[in-house]
Structure 1
Amino acid sequence: MHIGDMWSPIIVLYCLFATVGMIQGGSTDRTLVDRLILNYGPKTIIPKRATDSPINVTIRWKPYQIVNLDEYHQQLVLSAALKLQWHDDYLKWNPLENRNNTQVEIFINDVWLPDLSLHNNVDKKFTSHPKADSGRVLKVTHDGDVTWFTPIITTTKCVQEAYYFPLDRQICNLTFGSWLYDATQVKISASFDDDAMEFVFKSDKVWDLTEFDAVAYEKKYACCENAWSLVNYKVTLQRRPFFYLLIICFPCVLLSLLVLAVFWAPHEAGEKISMAIQNLLALLLFHQLAAQLRPPSSSVQLFDVYVLTMIFLSCSSVASSVLVRSLYFGKGISLPPILLRRLTHSKFCTMLIEVSTTATELQEMEEHQPDGCGEDEDLSSELLPATWRSKSSAATSSFEMGIHGGDDDDDDVNNGHTYGALAIYIMLKKEQKKQWLNWEKIQAEHRYKREWKLLANVIDRITFLIHFVVTVCTTAYVYLEVLSRQD
């Protein structure tokens, strides 16, 4: 027998044992997992040997980005990463007996899992813990510490507080807790390590995450004897206002300035009333269109306070324009009431408008005013026409000659001239009186119209002053409210 033939079986056996050892070493994790699952027991029982204290479950929920914020239905959809940690007394082993293996991965369906629920969830798919394909495995260490990482998408109710729109901040709360176990069985706490405090949120073009905080607390319900352990995550979102300021607020300010511009249009312009009405319709239409871009709310928003105030001022500007125009172009058959005249000629009103007669009104009065100043004015005055003034001069000369006398031979002639001149003189005197009374009537009418025009101007300026003060006060109120919100 050759020496090579004698060692051949030995070499074969050595290779066989080496191969078996390598296979056993490579399958150590599977064997360990199978053994742990086989000896685990019921998965509905809390994996804690000591029953006098609850099992501690630590949660870390970290938002990544906003999937959708439905302001009309008031729902917030967030993409986040969920991490749960707890201690399982039935998932322990000795690393020295398992080739120094200190960690294995186990499917979530094979062991006990906290029945974590999102209490303010509005998505039926998130009834308990999500079982995503990327989060179906638990990491288990040799000392029984279990860690579960999984991405989730949460849909929660987020009540919109839009009073300060578009400079509003929305606070949304997500409350996690066990649906089956109370605080004596499962105690949930929030994680505050570096991993939990890491900011990984990606802001979109509308919202920024300004605050993110977690609070663990216990709450007692009337149904149960013991309290329940809960963790609430508060998410504060700040709206980016530039788009809304440009599209909504800036045009609103321009329309409010047009309300004041109505009062500076002249009364003679027929478009003054139409301008006020068009401005009112523009504000109403603008308010309806802006409502489609704003979140619905049962309470009055700060934007509504400003717009509705401008609409009220626009309505009052229409009414004021109609009143002022009717007074300015009225018949003026009598003087305004004494109280209104006192208001017109008061010192306050003289600061708003020039109360003296305008040059146009003086020109109109001079066209109707005669040179004579009374009934005893000479008949040759400008009160009578030119042909009548020549007759008046001749009649006056003849009448004076008849009165002072002349030659005896001319008595009959003088008497005839005297009686004729007297008749003409009386007739012209009556015509002068008639013209004088007509001028007084015209003068009175012009005075009445002047007083009513001055009253219309005073009312127009007072209304403008009121609108200006209300606009400034409303703008200041809105500005101060926004500043107080920012503080």
Structure 2
Amino acid sequence: MSKLSLSILPPLFLLFIAAVSFVFASDDEERLMMDVFKGYNSLILPLRNDSQPIIVRMTLQLVLLINVDEKDQIMHTNVWLTLKWKDFQMAWSPVNYGGIKEIRVSPDKVWLPDIVLFNNADGNYEVSFMSNVIVDYRGNMLWVPPAIYKSSCIIDVEYFPFDEQVCHLIFGSWTYNENEIKMEFAQADSMDLSEYAKSVSSIWDVIDAPASLVNRRSRIEYQLRIRRKTLFYTVVLIIPTVLMAFLSMAVFFLPTDSGEKMTLGCSSTLRGRRVGRGGLERDRVQD
């Protein structure tokens, strides 16, 4: 046997072992899928004890504050929902299935908590993408779907442009009551801002996002506190307006027979209209 043949034997042997392992792993996972879904009904609430509700732990992660429509009083956000619960029917022993401890299944194959945004503003209650559900051998379920929501938000512009707003996001089960599903926080009792992407063009800053359990723990309410960026309005609206006011008052100090009195008055009025239009154009671009 040549030296070349001897040199390629070890790589071929490793490839053979890898192929065999992959085949056995695929067989184990296929057998596991068949066993856990045998007799499983995704429409039935997975309660082991009827006296104990299913605990659904939730985390809301803010990715982007897309827009705040002050006219229609709607907040547009991009978020990630994290839902955790336990389904005793999905448990298995890893020893019997080649050491497999975790699988990913389609969301239409398992029971999902029907958690929706109650103060939805456009009637779209579904998440943007039905991602897979991660299931471990103890029956712990993890579902992290992304969503783009339009929620109602009462805007108070009394202190514009130095105003702060509080917008609410209220989540809960659409059909189950507190005796069947109990909502809890998966981590901290606040919105997760670790992945929040600050937009340079946005006119709002996110200050805080606390959360609370309401209605005997059957709902979770998130409060998104936002503050308007005042630099633009100060430079483009407030300072020019004050200057125009001083120019308008200066008209009264000019002699009555001065021809510049009418010119200065008209000029101040026109400049004031341009300043106001500039602020409105900024708001129109944001909408």
Alignment of 1:215 with 2:206, yes or no, is no
Change (3 A) 1:67 1:21: closer
Partner residue, 1:54: 53
Instruction: Write the distance in 2 (CA, Å) between the matches of 1:251 and 1:195.
Output: 40
Q: Give the counterpart of 1:191 among 186, 193, 204.
A: 186
Question: Is the counterpart of residue 148 in structure 1 residue 143 in structure 2?
Answer: yes
Deviation for aligned residue 1:144: 1.1
Question: What residue identity is the alignment partner of 1:52?
Answer: S
Partner of 1:67: 66
Tell which structure's C-alpha radius of gyration is larger.
Answer: 1
Q: CA deviation at 1:173?
A: 0.8
Secondary structure, aligned partner of 1:27: helix
Name the CA distance, whole Å, in 1 between partners of 2:61 and 2:28. Answer: 35
Match of 1:289 among 268, 277, 280: 277
Q: Comparing both structures, which one devotes a greater share of its residues to strand?
A: 2
What's the secondary structure of 2:209's corresponding residue?
strand
Q: In the alignment, which residue of structure 2 is the partner of 1:45?
A: 44
Q: Distance in 2 between matches of 1:47 and 1:75?
A: 36
Report SS of the residue matched to 1:243: helix
Check conservation: 1:207, 1:238, Cα contact below 8 A.
yes
Tell me what 2:250 maps to: 261
Partners of 1:131 and 1:271 in 2: CA distance: 63
Counterparts of residues 322-333 of structure 1 (less than 5 Å): none
- The 8 Å contact of residues 182 and 228 in structure 1, kept in 2 or not, is answered as no
Per-residue deviation, 1:109: 0.5
Bigger helix fraction: 1
CA distance in 2, matches of 1:119, 1:90: 30
* Partners of 1:131 and 1:76 in 2: CA distance: 17
> Which residue of structure 2 aligns with residue 122 of structure 1?
121
Match of 1:349 in 2: none
Structure 1 Cα separation of the partners of residues 75 and 22 of structure 2: 53
User: What residue is the counterpart of 1:96 in the other structure?
Assistant: 95
1:237 — aligned with what?
Answer: 226
**Counterpart amino acid of 1:209?**
V
Q: Is the 8 A contact 2:247 2:268 kept in 1?
A: no
How far is the alpha carbon of 1:68 from its aligned partner?
Answer: 2.6
The structure, 1 or 2, with the larger RCO (C-alpha pairs under 8 Å, 6+ apart) is 2
CA distance in 2, matches of 1:115, 1:85: 13
Secondary structure in structure 1 of the residue aligned to 2:145: strand
User: How far apart, in 1, do the equivalents of 2:189 and 2:99 lie?
Assistant: 29
Q: CA deviation at 1:71?
A: 2.5
Which segments of 5 or more consecutive residues in structure 2 lack a partner in the other structure? 1-18
What is the RMSD of the two structures over their aligned residues, measured on CA atoms? 2.9
Give the deviation of 1:178 after TM superposition. Answer: 0.6
Please give the secondary structure, in 1, of the residue aligned with 2:76. strand
- Aligned-partner residue type, residue 215 of structure 1: S
8 Å contact 1:201–1:209 — kept in the other structure? no
Amino acid at match of 1:33: M
Equivalent-residue separation in structure 2 for 1:216 and 1:56 (angstroms): 13
| CA pair 232-24 structure 1, distance change in 2 beyond 3 A | same
| Preserved contact between residue 181 and residue 228 of structure 1 (Cα < 8 Å) | no
**What is the match of residue 26 of structure 1?**
26
Number of aligned residue pairs: give it: 264
Deviation at 1:276, TM superposition (A): 7.4
Is 1:248–2:254 an aligned residue pair? Answer: no
Any idea what SS the aligned residue of 2:239 has? helix
Which amino acid letter does the alignment assign opposite residue 156 of structure 1? S
Take 1:117 and 1:22, find their aligned partners in 2: how far apart are those partners? Answer: 40
Distance (Å, rounded) in 2 between the aligned partners of 1:160 and 1:109: 38
Q: Is 1:278 paired with 2:270?
A: no
Instruction: Decide whether the 8 Å contact of 1:210 with 1:237 is kept in 2.
Output: yes
Q: Does the 8 Å CA contact 2:128/2:147 hold for their aligned counterparts?
A: no
Counterpart-to-counterpart distance in 1, 2:189 and 2:119: 27
Query: Shift in Å at residue 285 of structure 1?
Result: 3.4
TM-score normalised according to structure 2 size: 0.81
Question: What is the one-letter code of the residue matched to 1:262?
Answer: V
Whichever residue aligns with residue 285 of structure 1, its letter is R
What amino acid sits opposite 2:168 in the alignment? N
1:85 counterpart letter in structure 2: K
Counterpart in the other structure of 1:182: 177
Q: Which of 151, 162, 165 is matched with 1:167 structurally?
A: 162
Question: Conserved in 1, the CA contact under 8 Å of 2:233 and 2:279?
Answer: no
| Alpha-carbon contact 2:210-2:224 (below 8 Å) kept | yes
Is contact 1:60-1:83 (8 Å) kept? yes
Q: Deviations over 1:288-330 (max 9, x none)?
A: 636735879xxxxxxxxxxxxxxxxxxxxxxxxxxxxxxxxxx
Offset at residue 149 of structure 1 (A)? 1.2
Partner residue in 2 for 1:158: 153
Q: How far apart are 1:197 and its partner, in Å?
A: 4.3
Asked whether the 8 Å contact 2:189–2:211 carries over to 1, the reply is no
The residue number in structure 1 matching 2:110 is 111
1:383-436 CA-to-partner distances (Å, cap 9, x unmatched) read xxxxxxxxxxxxxxxxxxxxxxxxxxxxxxxxxxxxxxxxxxxxxxxxxxxxxx
Task: Report the alpha carbon displacement of residue 252 of structure 1 after superposing the two structures with TM.
Answer: 0.4
Provide the residue aligned with 1:301 in structure 2.
none
Q: Distance in 1 between matches of 2:23 and 2:238?
A: 74
Give the residue type in structure 1 aligned to 2:108: N
The question of whether the paired residues in 1 share the 8 Å contact of 2:52 and 2:180 is answered with yes
Q: CA deviation at 1:141?
A: 1.1
Distance 1:286 1:160, change over 3 A: farther
